[in-house]
Amino acid sequence: MDAIEVLPGVHVTRDYALWFPREKTLAISDLHLGYEGAMQEAGVAIPRRQKRVMLERLGRLLDRCAPETVIVNGDFKHEFSRNLEEEWKDVQDVLDFLHARTTPVLVRGNHDNYLMQILSKRGLDLKRKYTCAGFTFVHGHDDPGVSGPIVLGHEHPAVKLRDDLGAVMSLPAFVVQPDTILLPAFSPLALGVDVTEGPRMSPLLANRDLSDARVYGIDDALGLLEFGRVESLARAQG
């Protein structure tokens, strides 16, 4: 299944994005561009593939939905302390890809400390929060002063499935309530955190009970998979 309407006018997609057809807006989060370069600096060599994977996903989304706006809800880049050379190039390439076909809106994440050096060259701003379709989009690492329905990144939610031999499969997931939506990481290299685990990383979730939230996992071969409520998953894993 390519997309499911999970709330009125709000669709989750198999390409890791929320889609708001009335507003012609897509939302993604946690690209962590430059991750491979940061790992190389730390002495860990991994193939440089995530930019290609993410551009392919974005291409499918733009072809299928033809959005006017794409919200990147934080952690566009990975390195905290500076802009690595390869990271700088990756960020520019993805921005150019988006800007050629839509209007990108970037929300600040905790990894985006030096992103403005890149955005300013294209006349783009970095927002602490952004409102669309009645939701406030905020990355989630801090509280910039929000109330009402929110869309968060930062958590990297995933469904953890264990087979009879004890092997674990992790599927990136959307977590959905009428007033709270958690986005999966758009990066194919970002580790997922079990949707049933707590406490949550975001202070914005400290007083929000997600036990009755619905979970939609993403399998690259099968598409979207409905897993029911968080509390049901917790009991099944229990």
Transcribe 178-237 into DSSP letters.
Answer: TTEEEPPPSSTTSPPEETT--S-S-GGGTT---TT-EEEEEETTTEEEEEEEHHHHHHHH
First vs last C-alpha separation in the chain: 28
Asked if CATH classification 3.60.21.10 holds for the domain at 3-157+173-193, the reply, yes or no, is: yes
How many CB atoms are located within 10 Å of the residue 206 CB? 9
Q: How far apart are CA 13 and CA 10, in angstroms?
A: 10
Residues 43-96 have pLDDT tens digits of 444 445 678 898 999 999 999 999 999 999 988 875 544 555 677 788 889 999
pLDDT at residue 49, rounded to an integer = 63
Whether residue 204 has pLDDT greater than 50: yes
pLDDT at residue 164, rounded to an integer = 60
Whether residue 210 has pLDDT greater than 70: yes
Mean pLDDT of 9-30: 98
The better pLDDT of the pair 152, 38 is held by 152
Mean pLDDT of 123-143: 93
42 confidence band (pLDDT: 50, 70, 90): very low
pLDDT at residue 59, rounded to an integer = 97
User: Which residue in this structure is represented by tokens 């057809």?
Assistant: 21
Q: Which three-class secondary structure state does DSSP give residue 38? A: helix
Going from N- to C-terminal start, the domains of the chain cover 3-157+173-193
Whether residue 208 has pLDDT greater than 50: yes
Among 11-25, 143-157, 159-173, the range scoring the smallest mean pLDDT is 159-173
